[in-house]
Structures are given as C-alpha cells and as structure tokens.
Structure 1
Amino acid sequence: MDTAPPREPDEIAFPDEITFKDAVEADAPALVELIHSAYRGEASRGGWTTEADLLAGGRTDADDVRRVISTRGSRLLMVEQSGELIACCQLEHRGDAAYFGMFAVRPNAQGGGLGRRVLAEAERTARETWGVKSMQMTVISVRDDLIAWYERRGYRRTGEMTPFPYGDARFGIPLRDDLAFELLVKNLA
C-alpha cells in the first residue's frame, strides 16, 4: 500500500543551505544507508517513497554504489545540509540522454520540496556537463504516486517496460508478482 504523495508547497524553505557534491568511494556505506532508508524497511515508511509493501531486502549495496562512483560517464551526487547526508542521485551519460537513478531523500526530509530541488539540479548538471537533450529513468510501473510526481515535473511515460529481475536479490525480494520497470523521459533541450 502506497503512502500519500508529497505535498506541493508554494514556497520551499530550507533552514540551512544545502550543498551538492560528487560522491567518492569512501562515501559508499553512508549512501547505501540513505538509499535503503528511503525505500526499504520500517524506517522508509516515514516518507512517501517507500517500497516496503512491494519489496523486502536491500535496494543496493556498497559495491554497486562504488561502481556508479567509479564508472566513466557516471556521477553520484550527494546532497548535504549542515554536514548531514540527506539526499543523493545518480547521473549516467548515455549518448544524447542522461540516466537518472539511485534517487533517495531521507524520509524525514521528504514532502517539503527537497526532491524537486535535487531533480532540477540533476537535470541542470546533466545538460551543462554532457549537453544531453533528455533525461531518462526507470520506475517500478505500479508506483502510480511516484510516476505522477515525475509527470508533474515534465516526465512522460513511454510504455516501454523492462521485466523486474525476479530471483536477483541485488534488486530486493519481491512481495508481488506483477513488478516491471517503465521508462520515463523528459526533454531537456
């Protein structure tokens, strides 16, 4: 069961300025903890992005995070507030497009506009760094609330589906048999 989608405030207030920086391999354990907290387990239920009713187990591991950090044409942006890691996202250069993934916001920081701000910075970074014309991502197709959030930010559903990797514990332990990934795309040009 999905929780309520985030509120859409007219003004976004951040008591302390946030900073964006590229992750390094030593950041991997903290990033894994952040990503897991946003999507899996009981702690994730404090935010609206939880997948706890869809998947059990982990969402990523330190090796996957280090691979993203060290791969050419890939960046993992960390977002900090008062020195605390509160959000992250992956950007990967794919020709005329960039791929957006590993997006996580701490559950207690969700619903106040931070995710929208991180997404906008990721789009700006991809456009300015690589000159890409579009941003792509995959979202679990049954996540209607999350897909609607992305649609309000200009992403469109493509109908292109990729089967969920059932049996590969790196992606979690499915609690349903109808999971698939849908490709979402936004024009950045």
Structure 2
Amino acid sequence: MDTTATGPTFREATDADVDALVALIESAYRGDASRVGWTTEADILEGQRTDPEGVLQVIKSSDSRLLTVEQDGRIVACCQLEHRGDHAYFGMFAVSPTQQGTGLGKVVIAEAEQRARETWGVTQMHMTVISVRDDLIAWYERRGYRRTGKMTPFPYGDERFGIPQRDDLQFELLVKPLV
C-alpha cells in the first residue's frame, strides 16, 4: 500500500474557505500555536492577525487572488496576490506551523511569483515585512527579495492588525524582480 503524502495543490480561495483560512493565518502568526513554527509574531504582537471580513475582502477583490494550498485534503498554506500596476503585492502569507521548515514556503512563493507574471505580466513582486523580523527578512532575501529601506508606519491603535508589544514596529518594503 502506498502511504506517501500527496504534494500540494494550488487553487484560488472561495467564500467557503474563509474560516479555515482565518484559522490557518492566526495559527501561523499569533498565540502559542504559532510558536511551533519559526515565523511567529507572538513576541511582538498579540490579538488577531486577520479576521473573516479581511480574508473575504481579498477573495472578493477583482485585483486580488488568495492562493490556497492544500495537502492531504486540508489547507496548509495561503498567500495573497494583488495586481498593482507594474507589480504585484505578496501578502497574507501563511504556512501551517507544523509544515514550516519543510520547504513548502519556498514552493508557495515560487508558485505565487509565476502566477503573478503569467496572470498580470508584472515585472516585480513587492511585499512589506515588519522591520524587526530579521529571521523572516533573511528568508525572503535568500529567495531573491531585497530590502529597500522604505518604511511605512505600523497601524498602532487599530486592533484589527494586532496589539503591539513594542513601540518600534514599522513595515519595510521588500522587492524582487520577476524575470
């Protein structure tokens, strides 16, 4: 009997995926569940990372895609792709904490870049990362992303994005050419 796990399958998220996607994103970033993986924000942010309304907004937007990754019948990763003129924005990236470190994230980001090129003909991928997340930024740099030094403020006081545990949070723009 073959007991090997099937590889990941990619598809665009639907309304029916909202609850599973919110649970995945929360587990990857916040609370003790996120500490199983290496990309947790639990030490710098408490509260929610997203909510059903935010996920549904991405799914419904004509300029966005919420790429959903399934393995063995369950959602294990996701990412947002948004068309912004000559570039695409990469966000809402989450890999199940139990799947982090397995190479799945590399596969997802490569698929996202390919889809952005093919779907919109963009030449760059942009993302923003909390600037104190040195380990995560280093991971993106190994995938070809470069720090720009361009910062935008963290939305302090808007608990939809979490409850900051420090006062020096800001987002840095990372950019990768898609050639």
Q: TM-score, normalised by structure 1?
A: 0.92
1:88 equivalent in alignment to 2:92: no
Alignment of 1:45-124 (within 5 A): 45-124=35-114
Shift of 1:82: 1.1
Unmatched 5+ stretches in structure 1: 1-13
The answer for the alignment partner of 1:11 in structure 2 is none
Aligned-residue identity in percent: 71
2:142 alignment partner AA: R
Amino acid of the structure 2 residue aligned with 1:94: R
TM-score, normalised relative to structure 2: 0.97
| Matching residue of 2:135 | 145
**Pairwise CA distance, 1:15:** 3.2
* Counterpart Cα distance in 1 of 2:172 and 2:7: 34
**Is 1:23 aligned to residue 16 of structure 2?**
no
How many angstroms apart in 2 are the aligned matches of 1:37 and 1:128? Answer: 31
Q: CA deviation at 1:78?
A: 0.5
The answer to whether the aligner puts 1:178 opposite 2:168 as a matched pair is yes
Deviation at 1:73, TM superposition (A): 1.2
Q: Which amino acid aligns with 1:167?
A: G
User: Where does structure 1 differ by over 6 angstroms across 4 or more consecutive aligned residues?
Assistant: none
> Hey, what's the Cα distance between the residues in 2 that align with 1:15 and 1:32?
24
Structure 1 letter corresponding to 2:68: M
CA distance in 2, matches of 1:25, 1:158: 35
Which residue identity is paired with 1:122?
A
Structure 2 residues without counterparts, runs of 5 or longer: none
Code of the residue aligned with 2:116 in structure 1: it is A
Q: RMSD between aligned alpha carbons?
A: 0.8
Q: In structure 2, what is the Cα distance between the partners aligned to 1:18 and 1:114?
A: 8
Aligned residues: 176
Give CA deviations for 1:68-114 in whole Å, capped at 9, x if unaligned.
Answer: 00001100010000111100000000001000000000000000100
